[in-house]
Amino acid sequence: MPSIFSYQSAEVDWCESNFERSTVIAEYYNTISNVSFFVLSPALLYLNRQYRQHRALPLYFVSGLLFCVGIFSMYFHMTLSYMGQLLDELSILWTLAVAYSFWYPKVYFPRFIKSRKHFFWLSGVTTVISTLMSFIKPAFNAYALNCIAFHLLYLTWRELKKVHRMAAVMVVWWVLAISSWISDRWLCGLWQAINFPYFHSFWHVLIAMSLLYCCPLVIYFDVNYEMPSFKPKLGYWPGDSWPVVVPYVALEQPHKQC
């Protein structure tokens, strides 16, 4: 029986051919495209530095976990091991759980939840149960994780008027990302026939792009709802007039009326 660490012991194998470009890296492009997460994580910290000064813990935690997602995803595609698959999926699950615990707006809490502390407990218990259940059928986990994006879409739709440009760009990146993920999973025969099995690598880059827009959006609402002494202001790096911009949140202190 192969060990859970053995090469190709995972339940899933992505469309890119294995060991084509290296004898140690199973899926070469799917592995190196995770560099996107190593760029995303410091970019979020750098761009949202004003928010970081006031709310260091959530931002350090989430960007640190996104960095870990990159490391585990690299390990998974490099080995296609069962352990790699679980680490990849569980790191995503825990990153989402931490992000929800810190940032899920209080106005959307279920009625029986009275404080953020209770919400932390609810997320913690749900995540531990999901972690245990994820061992039952790891290949199904990725579909369940992708469904969480629909909940984020629903929240975005409810709040859209306030930040429509950033939300629209995030949705476009996500639609491109999920289309690449599904293409790689479901149409692999076609992509192999035309010798272009690289859609899962595109997914890594595109989902990192959508998170670059999703995180400031969530931070924007966090400042709006939970930091009443500040007003969130959207900034665009490198500048408002550039054709391609990355959003970040700056904090304004509204002038006190005498």
Ligand X SMILES: CCCCCCCC/C=C\CCCCCCCC(=O)N[C@@H](CO)[C@H](O)/C=C/CCCCCCCCCCCCC
Choice from 204, 206, 230, 247 touching ligand X (CB under 6 A):
204
Residue 13 binding result from Zn ion, ligand X, Ca ion, none, given CB thresholds of 5 to 8 Å by partner type: Ca ion
Angle formed at CA 78 by CA 8 and CA 194, multiple of 5 degrees: 80
- Does 27 count as an annotated binding residue? yes
Site string for ligand X, 114-153 (x = CB under 6 A): ----------------------------x--xx-xx--xx
Tell me how far, at minimum, the Cβ of 26 lies from ligand X, in Å: 12
User: Measured on CA atoms in the order 147, 149, 151, 157, is the torsion positive or negative?
Assistant: negative
- Does 226 count as an annotated binding residue? no
Residue 207 binding result from Ca ion, ligand X, Zn ion, none, given CB thresholds of 5 to 8 Å by partner type: ligand X
Residue 219 binding result from Zn ion, Ca ion, ligand X, none, given CB thresholds of 5 to 8 Å by partner type: none
**Footprint (CB under 5 A) of Zn ion, residues 55-114:** 73
Query: Among residues 30, 25, 72, 26, which one has the least CA distance to residue 184?
Result: 30
- Does 118 count as an annotated binding residue? no
* CB of 15 closer than 8 Å to CB of 22: no
Give how many residues touch ligand X by CB under 6 A. 28
Only one residue has tokens 């899933």, namely: 12
Q: H-helix or E-strand containing 246?
A: strand 246-252
Angle formed at CA 153 by CA 205 and CA 123, multiple of 5 degrees: 90
Contact between 13 and Ca ion (CB under 5 A)? Answer: yes
Residue by residue, DSSP assigns 103-154 as HS-GGGS-TT--SHHHHHHHHHHHHHHHHHHTTT-HHHHHHHHHHHHHHHHH
Give the footprint of ligand X on this chain (CB under 6 A). Answer: 69, 73, 76, 88, 92, 95-96, 99-100, 103-104, 142, 145-146, 148-149, 152-153, 170-171, 174, 203-204, 207, 210-211, 214, 218
Give the footprint of Ca ion on this chain (CB under 5 A). Answer: 13-14, 16, 18
